Amino acid sequence: MKKRTIKSPLSKLLTLALFCMLAMGACKSKKKVVAAPEPAPVEEPAPAPAPEQPQPSAEEVAVGKLENYFNSVSNSSNVDAANRTISEAMGMFSNQETPVLIVIHEENGIKDYDEPTTIAKYLNYLKDTKKNLNFISDIRLDNNGRVSELELRRKK
């Protein structure tokens, strides 16, 4: 019977320790649930205003307008319409003798140009051929915002 008495207090002790551990574990988990503070409502920051698109430069605006004029002149249905468009376009230039340079070849930064012409001659050329084969590669404006020089390149 001695063996039983040793086992009995030892088993009672182990059972009691196990019960205490379970009770403590259960209490802690209840405390965690009860004691856990509710998360504060997260306020979403106001949406940032959309970044403003950078305003196009005067050169970019002039290029867009001139490309439209060149296409209108070359695609006009009759001579009168082309002449009206040419008169409108001429208002963008410092004078009728504004140089128009057409790059025909470039190598190592050295440009070869076709025979220089004027804007008046170039616009009439577009009217006569009805083909706009060039695009604006460089533009220079004077102090008044009018085109003082135009450089064109062949479309590929």
CA 156 – CA 152 distance, rounded (Å): 13
Runs of H (alpha helix) within 36-110 = 58-74, 79-90
Q: So what's the pLDDT on residue 17? A: 67
Domain ranges of the chain: 58-154
| CATH class for the domain made up of 58-154 | alpha beta
> Tokens in use for 125?
């050329």
pLDDT tens string for the chain (156 positions)? 555 545 567 677 667 766 656 666 655 544 455 555 666 666 777 676 767 778 888 899 999 999 999 999 999 999 999 999 999 999 999 999 999 999 999 999 899 999 999 999 999 999 999 999 999 999 999 999 999 999 999 987
Which residue type, as a one-letter code, is found at position 79?
A: V
Q: So what's the pLDDT on residue 25? A: 62
Q: Where do we find the tokens 């060039």?
A: 134
Q: End-to-end CA distance of the chain, in Å?
A: 109
Q: So what's the pLDDT on residue 47? A: 72
Angle at 107 between CA 101 and CA 110, to 5 degrees: 50
CA 118 – CA 150 distance, rounded (Å): 9
> Tokens in use for 31?
């405390």
Residue pair 147/141 in contact by the 8 Å Cβ criterion: yes
